[in-house]
Amino acid sequence: MSLGSAAIDVSIDGLVGSHSPGSVIRASYATGNVVTTASLAPNGIGCAASNSCQTVSAGGLAGQNFGSIADSTAWGNVSVGANGTGGGLVGFNSGIIENAFALGSVSGAAGSGGVNSPGASTTLGGLAGVNQGLITDSFAGGPVGSPAVSNLKAGGLVGDNSGTILSSIATGDVQAGSTSLAGGLVASNSVFSNFNCGGCPTATARPSLTRR
């Protein structure tokens, strides 16, 4: 099975579109490919205040995760349009991902303005396109990006990370064209000024995680 969309302001995935706070996905898997072709306008710095942000989040298991995903796997390939966000498991993560695996390829169209223009790059991650939460004990094995595609943020595990990553591995090839950022684990790593993830570590403590 394959899922596809050409719309903007959507979350698309192999299992669930948007995974809400407090909800749990455990011991689940998705095998279908996820494709979105929408080309987004660049989101300026003030787009949230003017309610004009355009978003597309595509993931092999969940488009957006604000809850908890554990012991789960996505095998499908993920592809997004210009300025979109794609991840092998989730497009956008602001929750908790524990002991999860993504094995498919993650690709996207060229961003419209490069990594120095706000909202004008396509963000790709082998596990998560954007992480503002917690990823722990997880693995991504698929290839990310392409050397012929410019204006990417391409990371083997995460494209844009402002959350926390613990004990995780990426083994897939990462490739990106001109005016891009690329990293074997993470393409862009920074501090998120509004970090708010229940169960995520603070500056002085690491989270309490139940081991099985």
3-state secondary structure the chain: CEEEECCCCEEEECCEEEECCCCEEECCEECCEEEECCCCCCCCCCCCCCCCCCCEEEECCEEEECCEEECCEECCCEEECCCCEEECCEEEECCEEECCEECCCEEECCCCCCCCCCCCCEEEECCEEEECCEEECCEECCCEECCCCCCEEEECCEEEECCEEECCEECCCEECCCCCEEECCEEEECCCCCCCCCCCCCCCCCCCCCCC
Tokens found for residue 91? 């497009």
Tokens found for residue 165? 């990553």
Residue 132: strand pairing partners? none
What's residue 39's pLDDT? Answer: 86
Q: Which of 16-30, 54-68, 134-148, 185-199 has the lowest mean pLDDT?
A: 185-199
Residues 27-58 have pLDDT tens digits of: 999 999 999 988 887 766 666 666 667 788 99
The mean of the pLDDT values for the chain is 84
pTM surpassing 0.85?
no
Residues 181-196 have pLDDT tens digits of: 999 999 999 986 544 4
Residue 9 has pLDDT above 80, yes or no: no
Which is more confidently placed, 116 or 73? 73
Tokens found for residue 135? 């990823």
What's residue 38's pLDDT? Answer: 84
What's residue 49's pLDDT? Answer: 67
Q: 184, 197, 89, 204: which is closest to 134 by C-alpha?
A: 197
What's residue 160's pLDDT? Answer: 97
Task: Kindly indicate the confidence band of residue 211, based on its pLDDT and cuts at 50, 70 and 90.
Answer: very low
